[in-house]
Amino acid sequence: MSATPTHDAELDASGLNCPLPLLKAKMELNRLDSGAVLKVIATDAGSQRDFRTFAKLAGHTLLLEEAEAGVYTYWLKKA
């Protein structure tokens, strides 16, 4: 297992349904500088597809993605 990336900001989107975790992550990323890492915690299974697609389309890097007991954690590096 790889080391968990360090992060500059954290967003807890637990209990929120699609597309709210992604919208909140977008707003949070807007506040961060380029190269900053945002850790997002979500409980919506659909968030996996959303975050993969968003990272690809927006040019951000999905450094790591973890799923454990219905909790999805993402580390997004801002483009």
Per-residue pLDDT tens for 48-57?
999 999 999 9
The mean pLDDT value of the chain amounts to 96
Using alpha carbons only, give the angle 1, 46, 76 rounded to the nearest 5 degrees. Answer: 50
CA distance 79 to 44: 24
pLDDT at 34: 98
* pLDDT greater than 60 at residue 45: yes
**What CA–CA distance (Å, rounded) separates 14 from 42?**
5
Global pTM? 0.94
Catalytic residue among 9, 16, 18, 41: 18
Is 69 a catalytic site residue?
no
